[in-house]
């Protein structure tokens, strides 16, 4: 079990051996002002999984290789086999960008991978502009030294995309824009990873700079059938 601690700039790693048997086995210490927020994972082979950590304050994605995991079955492997290595740090703000200062101007939020593991998406929130925010898009190359490659971005057609999620077939991306108080559906090109167009826009209320009433998360119903 992986737990990012945004305020402490740590990521805690636990071994879970039952509902009352949870043991901390590792502590990833990050640079001050990082603000680790969310993680997602991709299985690479039977013993390696990649972990993608998005950090809110310095606007980065860190890629870690987790070795010693058991991806073949539900069988258990002693946690002493687990090793964690940092593979790459990339900015969510585009090519040529580095870690940003924790000044709350840009705030990365969610990270997600397409179901084929070939593309990664990260939402960016800009707090000083009323222009639409964006999702950064990366291609994924687990066999290469440059694991994540920035390939473009797409507007979220709203402000403060606190959370987004891909449909179960990864054809669509639903974005919850908290301040503009709307829900956007984007259709993605499953070959290139880029977004084709906006295909849905639901207004949920008035523009809400207080962030008290806007949507904070969006999930897909696995039984939902759609047609366009």
What pLDDT is attached to residue 211? Answer: 87
- Whether 215 maps to a domain, the answer reads no
| CATH code of the domain containing 105 | 2.130.10.10
Q: What is the pLDDT of residues 170-209, one digit of tens each?
A: 999 999 999 999 999 999 999 999 999 999 999 999 998 9
- Cα–Cα–Cα angle for 89, 193, 90, nearest 5°? 10
Q: Percentage of the chain surpassing pLDDT 90?
A: 82
Mean pLDDT of 107-116: 97
Mean pLDDT of 111-135: 97
What pLDDT is attached to residue 17? Answer: 86
What pLDDT is attached to residue 3? Answer: 97
Question: What's the domain count of the chain?
Answer: 1
Q: Using alpha carbons only, how large is the chain's radius of gyration in Å?
A: 18
pTM confidence score: 0.93
Mean pLDDT of 64-82: 74
Q: Are 60 and 122 in contact (CB under 8 A)?
A: no
- Whether 101 maps to a domain, the answer reads yes
- Whether 216 maps to a domain, the answer reads no
Which of 72-86, 101-115, 138-152 shows the lowest mean pLDDT across its residues?
Answer: 72-86
Q: Rounded to an integer, what distance in angstroms lies between the CA atom of residue 80 and that of residue 149? A: 32
Range of 190's domain?
2-203
Task: Give 74 or 13, the one with higher predicted confidence.
Answer: 13
Tally of helices (H runs) and strands (E runs) in the chain: 0, 15
- Whether 68 maps to a domain, the answer reads yes
What pLDDT is attached to residue 167? Answer: 95
What pLDDT is attached to residue 133? Answer: 98
- The single-letter DSSP state of residue 114 is -
Neighbours of 73 (CB within 10 A): 7
Tokens of 1: 């079990």
Q: 95: burial class by Cβ within 10 Å (0-12, 13-18, 19+)?
A: exposed
- Whether 213 maps to a domain, the answer reads no
Q: pLDDT category, 94, cuts 50, 70, 90?
A: very high
Q: pLDDT category, 223, cuts 50, 70, 90?
A: confident
- Whether 37 maps to a domain, the answer reads yes
According to DSSP, the residues that pair with 5 across neighbouring strands are 10
Average pLDDT, the chain: 93
């Amino acid at each position: 079990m992986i737990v990012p601690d945004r305020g402490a700039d740590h990521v805690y790693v636990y071994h879970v051996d039952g509902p009352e048997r949870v043991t901390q086995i590792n502590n990833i210490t990050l640079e001050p002002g990082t603000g680790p927020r969310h993680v997602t994972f991709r299985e690479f082979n039977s013993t390696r999984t990649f972990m993608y950590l998005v950090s809110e304050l310095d606007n980065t994605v860190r890629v870690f290789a987790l070795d010693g995991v058991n991806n073949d079955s539900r069988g258990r492997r002693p946690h002493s086999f687990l090793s964690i290595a940092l593979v790459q740090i990339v900015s969510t703000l585009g090519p040529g960008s580095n870690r940003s200062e924790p000044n709350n101007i840009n705030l990365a939020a969610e990270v997600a991978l397409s179901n084929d593991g070939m593309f990664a998406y990260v939402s960016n929130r800009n707090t000083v502009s009323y222009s639409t925010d964006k999702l950064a898009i990366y291609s994924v190359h687990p066999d290469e030294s440059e694991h994540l490659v920035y390939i473009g971005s797409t507007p979220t057609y709203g402000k403060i995309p606190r959370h987004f999620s891909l449909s179960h077939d990864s054809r669509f991306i639903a974005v919850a824009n908290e301040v503009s108080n709307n829900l956007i559906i984007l259709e993605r090109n499953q070959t290139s990873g880029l977004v084709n167009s906006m295909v849905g826009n639901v207004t949920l209320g008035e523009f809400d700079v207080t962030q008290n009433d806007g949507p904070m998360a969006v999930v897909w119903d696995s039984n939902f059938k759609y047609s366009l």
